[in-house]
Structure 1
Amino acid sequence: MDDVSKTAIAPEEIVSFLKSETNYKEVCQNILFQRVIDRVARERGIAVTTEEIEVEAERQRRQKRLEKASDTLAWLADELISFDDWEIGIRNRLLAQKLAVALFSKEVEKFFSQNSLGFEQVILYQLVVSNEKLAQELYYQIEEGEISFYYAAHLYDIDDNRKRRCGYEGKIARGAIPTDIAAIVFSKPTKELIGPFKTEQGYHLLMVEDLLPAELTTQRYEEILNSMFQRWLLAEVNCLVGSSEISP
């Protein structure tokens, strides 16, 4: 693959390949996204400085362990891009980040506050069996202390992976749990046995190890911000395509 750059590939071959891989629409959409970002950023006087590009480039060098200039040049050559190509990519990503903050940073806290219930989480353990009688028996055995929830899950759960985890499901957001079940799960004290109840999977017993209140962490802030920005970008591109201002 080291000599791939020496093999001539025509632009129409690239387009044809992208179409055959059903990636062509995504690439075109990303190009239109960048047009929108450039236009709106220019209208709002938002720009990326040379210093900001250099700082991000240095961060990427450290991340990729490109200690010397020759290491960076070798990496760029291997990626079939020039130094200018790399800097343009950095500039585009930084510009998108700046524009997202300018447009939606004030909306994130408002959105989080209005939807905080959906961001609550639990650390959840689950035991699922296929038989109702077994589920009831396990419920009483766990309640009476004859067997622990974790060991029961390890012995009886129908899912091998969950068996190995002794029923551990991890951090689960309220929104990932069916509404009627979530209402029970988030109202019960921790360590209290919940169930059994029936779904298509079987008969479930649940136990909440900990309730995690909604918190606007840095990661969650970025997730909400990016989600808002992506929805806005898509709406802008759809509007432009619909008005025939650009070719789809």
Structure 2
Amino acid sequence: MKTRHLSVSLAAACIVLTMPAFAADNAQDFVDKAAVGGKFEVDSSQIALSKTQDQSVKDFAQMMIRDHGAANSKLETVAGEQKLKVPPALDAQHQGDLDKLKSAQAPIDPAYVDMQRKAHADAVKLFESYASSGDNAALKTFAQQTVGTLKTHQQMIEKIAAGQDAVTGATTPAVKTDNTPNAAALVPGANSFTEVQAKSRIEDAGYSNVSKLTKDDQGIWRGQASKAGENLDVGLDYQGNVVATGK
């Protein structure tokens, strides 16, 4: 996989990647989400640097640390000028995700990349909304200047994810007409995917009606799903591989 870099000039565009997928109610709400997202990106990427294997993932994490450090300072300055408060700590949801990364056994590449994919999708929605109808002129201009680069970041993480899937076979479910499994096997190991993330990953691989997910003693999420009219037993390992067999 090729290493990808973004210049420091993107710093101001990276203030938030981890946002709920809804519009900010007002200027303070936007600052809250942006500040929490920016801090989470720095903190989670610092963890990723020491617990990921793929060089492009490490490069992406380093970019997040560099760019978000500068961008968080920029946001603090703008918020101060607008008499708005910057939250000093993560909210419960983000702190929970950060704690999971801290406690997960390396490598955490799939979990970190999956987290960034979802975060970028939410961030683009948030910034597009505020850029269009924000209630604070300074922050609205900032959102307008930022959303284009957030989309560039989104494209970058999607390419990294696609490259991982090409290596692990995660986007090629092991379903054959004779209901025998693919040669690719699920790999035992400490799995940092949450149940929600596991379900989403399986759905991304083309399955629907994912249910009854439980993690076994090998760290593999196992459950049931359907595809092309078949009811299947499906599994997800810590590398992000999705394998299914006919029932």
- Give the TM-score of the pair, scaled to structure 1: 0.23
- Give the TM-score of the pair, scaled to structure 2: 0.23
Report the structure number with the largest CA radius of gyration: 1
Query: Which one has more relative contact order, counting CA pairs under 8 Å at least 6 apart?
Result: 1
Would you tell me which structure has more helix in proportion to its own residues?
1
